[in-house]
A and B are shown apart, each in its own frame.
Chain A
Amino acid sequence: MLEPVNVSLESLNLVTLAPMLIAIVGALTILVVDLVKSGLNKTMYVMLSMLFLLLDFGSLVDFAGFFAQNGTILGFFDVMLIDGLAILAQFIIVVGAMMFLPLSLTSKRFHEYSYPEYYALFLFTIAGLQFMVSTDNLILIFVGLETSSLAIYTLIAMHNRSKSFEAAVKYFTMGALAAGFYSFGAMVLYALSGSVEINQIAAVLSADGYSNIGYVLVGVAFLLASFGFKLSLVPFHTWAPDVYEGSSAAMAGFISIVPKIASFVVAMRLFEFLVQSGVVWLEVTLYVFVVVTMTASNIWALVQNDVKRMLAYSSISHAGFVMAALIIGTTQANSALFLYWAMFSFTNLGAFAMLWVNREKSLKYGQNSDHQFERFSGMVHTMPLAAVMMGLFMLSLAGIPPFGIFWGKLYMLGAAVSGGYTVLALIMALNSAIAAFYYLKLIVFMFLKEPDEQAHEKYMTNASLSLKTIIGAAAVMTVFSVFAVNPLLEFITSFVYNSGY
């Protein structure tokens, strides 16, 4: 006989769902509006979505204040877990979404933006990701993950080019496989511990003294494979370049930042307690993953002919770099992860937005991809300001001080050094040097080469005021990041520390 359900509404603490609900309601509202009156202009949908994201953001600010005072909040059958990590990650997710959404206000018409469903799916993605980070329940993580992923597959496909369909199919199929890995891994852990709550699994395992270490490792291996896919660790990274190439630059930039931070948070929740409890295998494996991911993707990025594809590999490399935080596992490292990603968001936003404004409607004859390096030849002569901006973003990506990513890199290296991972720090540092080469390659094309006279390329054909504003904001953030670092760092550190990481 089942016990009668007896749950008090207060203990449910439904307010913990507020941020995600706002996004979901926003998505539904858009759909409803479309039902009532179809054929509305995309600007309306963009701004509507922006409003909901702003509300979402507002609720997060509220949570942040609450967390700062009272600490972690549980809710909804203790499934929701609003701790510092959740709030930080949601900030990055929502702010990232708000920065990328206006990129749909292009001056050229693109198929997908005229559909309201696009915006609804976009908001669903955000909601899914928010769920993912604010729980330690494996089921909810799975649901959040799949919600966001399925929406993203569709968003990519909506770009309506043969390459984007190919990208979507590839992403989708591999995603399905990763989902299989995830569920199998979760199943193994559930079998071992009888729970799907990460903290309970941890408690059971350590009470048990990790006697079934072999099975634990099998479960962790499956989960690692699954998140390896999401975080694009080599060799689970193969989707990334193709998906970046196949989707629009705006979408690619979004994929490079927002879903990844969610996966990082889950990975932190999942793996760090294992690393901390002395599962050497995981530490070694992660170490190998970090080093291989950074190095291999850097090496592959060297040989790319397309800027967007190069940036795809670069994103993989950055993800690998940040993964180091999971091995180091100190508060400093985990804070560095968020700092790095916040800085990376702005720079990468700028870089992809720059690609986006240079996008032609269709490929010219003889072109294999949209953003070949040759297109940028001598850009400084024709569009000096744009070239300078792009140069800034590339320098920041390369980790040249005082631009944004440098500070993240500095802090992460500092964490590695303080954590005793000297060799890792050196490998990370030297990888930055390799990476500098391909970022420089674009700078070389833009600044050092003469423009190709025959091409008569037009830059910035896709630019509009909102795109320019976004790029300007990204550039300002990138250049003056040094002033933002301290408040950010203090904020992040206190949140991470108070969440017990």
Chain B
Amino acid sequence: MEIGLSHYLVLSTILFAIGLIGVMRRKNLLLLFFATEILLNSVNVAFAAISHYHGDLTGQMFAFFVIAIAASEVAVGLGLLIVWYKRTGKIDLDMMTTMRG
């Protein structure tokens, strides 16, 4: 069986779904960040595959930008996480409900 574009796309979709489920289920902030990374990277897989399929480099370029942005996101996110942890000693999402309504 040859691996075609659709396989990559299915893989990407599955990864994205996993990411989504992670985003919804995770209560640990760190793991939540992991889930968002999975989301972004699933798209990268698809971009690379589509780029190859179209014979066009734009998709790969997009993937690179996504990687870069994901990296900076992690930087900012972890920074926030650390500060949060320093202030509260927890990284549990359920503790973060002072604002509501």
Contact = CB atoms under 8 A, between A and B. Distances in A.
23 contacts: A143-B65, A146-B69, A146-B73, A153-B76, A162-B87, A162-B98, A169-B96, A173-B77, A179-B40, A179-B69, A180-B36, A180-B43, A183-B66, A184-B39, A184-B43, A187-B12, A187-B47, A187-B59, A190-B58, A191-B9, A241-B99, A241-B101, A303-B101
A349 B88 CA distance: 33
A186 B83 contact: no
A186 B50 CA distance: 12
A112 B71 CA distance: 25
B59 A143 contact: no
A177 B32 CA distance: 10
Contacts of B69: 142-143, 146, 179
Contacts of A165: 80, 83-84, 87
Contact of B23 (A146, A177, A183): A177
A2 to B, nearest CB: 9
Given A162-B87, A169-B84, A180 B72 contact: no
B37 to A, nearest CB: 9
Nearest to A160: B83
Interface of A: 138-139, 142-143, 146, 150, 153-154, 157, 162-163, 165-170, 172-173, 176-177, 179-180, 183-184, 186-187, 190-191, 194-196, 241-242, 245-246, 303-305, 309
Best-surrounded residue of A154, A166, A304 (most CB of chain B within 10 A) = A166
A190 B72 contact: no
A303 B54 CA distance: 53
Q: Is the interface of A mostly helix, strand, loop or mixed?
A: helix
Contact of B77 (A176, A245, A246, A304): A176
A191 B50 contact: yes
Contacts of A138: 62
Interface residues of B, number: 42
Nearest to B73: A176
B56 to A, nearest CB: 6
Given A146-B69, A183-B66, A184-B16, A246 B58 contact: no
B40 A183 contact: yes
Given A177-B23, A180-B39, A194 B99 contact: no
A183 B29 CA distance: 22
Given A163-B99, A184-B16, A190-B62, A179 B73 contact: yes
B40 A173 contact: no
Q: Is the interface of B mostly helix, strand, loop or mixed?
A: helix
Contacts of B29: 169, 173
Contacts of B58: 139, 190, 195-196
A177 B65 CA distance: 16
B32 A180 contact: no
B96 A166 contact: yes
Contacts of B47: 183, 187, 190
Contacts of B16: 180, 184
A169 B80 contact: yes
Contact of A172 (B9, B77, B100, B101): B77
B61 interface: yes
B89 to A, nearest CB: 12
Interface string B7-36: 001001000100100010000010011001
Nearest to A303: B101
A194 B9 CA distance: 15
B98 A166 contact: yes
Contacts of B77: 172-173, 176
Given A157-B83, A169-B81, A170-B96, A186 B39 contact: no
Best-surrounded residue of B46, B87, B98 (most CB of chain A within 10 A) = B98
A434 B39 CA distance: 39
A150 B42 CA distance: 21
A461 to B, nearest CB: 23
Given A167-B99, A169-B29, 7 more contacts: A154-B76, A170-B96, A179-B69, A183-B40, A183-B66, A184-B43, A190-B59
A170 to B, nearest CB: 7
B65 to A, nearest CB: 5
Nearest to A167: B99
Nearest to A244: B99
B12 to A, nearest CB: 8
Nearest to B96: A166
A139 B65 contact: yes
B61 to A, nearest CB: 6
